[in-house]
Amino acid sequence: MTIEQLLDKISEKNFSQEISKLPQHILIYGAGAFGKEIYMLLKNHNRSVMGFIDRSAAKNQELFKVPVWSLENIPDSIIDCSPVVVFAIVMDKTERLNVINSIKQAGFSNVIEAQSLRCLMVEPADREITCDLKTYYKQRWDKIEKTSKIFEDCMSEKLYWENVIAHMTKEYSGCITECPMQEQYFPKNIGWGTHHYIVDCGAYIGDTAQQLINKNGKLNRYIGIEPNLNNFIRLSTYCKTMSEQLGEVTLFPCGVSGQTLHTTFNTGTGSGCISENGDQQISCVALDDIIQNQKIDLIKMDIEGAELDALNSAKNMIAKYCPDLAICVYHNTNHIWDIPKLIDSWNLGYKFYLRCYNAFTMETVLYAKSNKRE
């Protein structure tokens, strides 16, 4: 497909438009972090939710003052309303489709994946308000094409173009080849080694730390950075429990950005992100300011769109130690070309790969593999 053909297919479809098209009655399947995020997004767009469905639901459980039912215990009166069920759990494709099928068998014919809505929130971070999408892509097409050539394997290049075209056309269904979720941050077939000196940006509650222990055995150093206070408390508790396996542990209750500063953090979407319109004040750090003369062999980033700025703040550390990099590139449209181009511009000899671990371009990760560790 030529650039002219793609430009003709550009769509301005957005999250707000699709939310407004949902039926009156809405249920959310999944009462975990993702389900809560979707609830808040719907609420912020003036859409009410009848309740949650969760396989771990307790009797008379409520969340946000609405009921939480197991699939087996939903009242017939709710089913008779013919609600749309928004599936809000991040899981492997096969398991996900099996659960969706069980929801339909329970009497709910209209089931949509929350990721099909969430992907419509992915926009170019560097797009000016007055710039239409056709002009935006036309201005950047040379960079987009050149970036496609820096990946090491055909799978990565294919995935790159699937992402670019999906975001241009807003046609996401079936566009992405998903890898098993247990391989996220541990990709196969690219010579990804073991790692024992870790910087975990967006450490959440220690899930990646546990995966690292499971895959690599005992770590020597773990530096975890997490701005959400509730998550940080759970992360701290986890690290105390696993102190022998994690080695030297340092935790920071803050965000990561291009410089060390105070900023605002938006908790209204559930997952939280740095935002000018945020509802909480947080501290952010530049990685080069907090990590000095400490050996690092892996940096992982999943920080809700702050990845590009955060990488710029880690240039000295990356140049010194040449760690492998596992960077999420699905939060902003331009990150899938701007982040690999940035790292490549440092001329450190990195090799680049892309892998995706969920539908609708979500959980797409860039792997920058250091040749200094081979």
Quickly tell me which residue has 């073991």 as its tokens.
194
Q: Dihedral through CA 11, CA 167, CA 92, CA 190, nearest 10?
A: 160
pLDDT score for 2: 82
pLDDT score for 263: 79
What are the tokens at 127?
Answer: 């797009």
Which residues in the chain are classed under CATH 3.40.50.150? 142-373
Residue type, 338: D
Contacts (Cβ under 8 Å, ≥6 apart) of 241: none
Q: How far apart are CA 71 and CA 296, in angstroms?
A: 46
Q: What are phi and psi of 251, to 5 degrees?
A: -120, 140
Q: How many CB atoms lie within 10 A of CB 26?
A: 21
Assigned superfamily of 142-373: Vaccinia Virus protein VP39 (3.40.50.150)
Residues of the chain with pLDDT under 50: 269-270
Specify whether domain 15-120 bears CATH 3.90.1170.40: no
pLDDT score for 267: 57
Cα–Cα distances in angstroms (integers) from residue 347 to residues 191, 253, 337, 343, 370, in the given order: 20, 32, 16, 8, 11
To 5 degrees, how large is the angle CA 330–CA 332–CA 334?
Answer: 105
pLDDT score for 274: 58
Question: SS3 for 37?
Answer: helix
What is the number of H-type helices and E-type strands within the chain?
15, 17
Q: What is residue 349's DSSP assignment?
A: -
Question: SS3 for 25?
Answer: coil
pLDDT score for 273: 56
Residue type, 111: V
pLDDT score for 1: 72
Encode pLDDT of 161-183 as tens digits. 999 999 999 999 877 789 999 99
Whole-structure pTM value = 0.93
Kindly provide the residue ranges of all beta strands, DSSP E only, lying in the chain, ordered along the sequence.
26-29, 51-53, 62-63, 66-69, 84-87, 111-113, 197-201, 221-225, 248-252, 255-256, 261-266, 273-274, 280-285, 298-301, 324-328, 351-356, 364-369
Which residues in the chain are classed under CATH 3.40.50.720? 15-120
pLDDT score for 265: 60
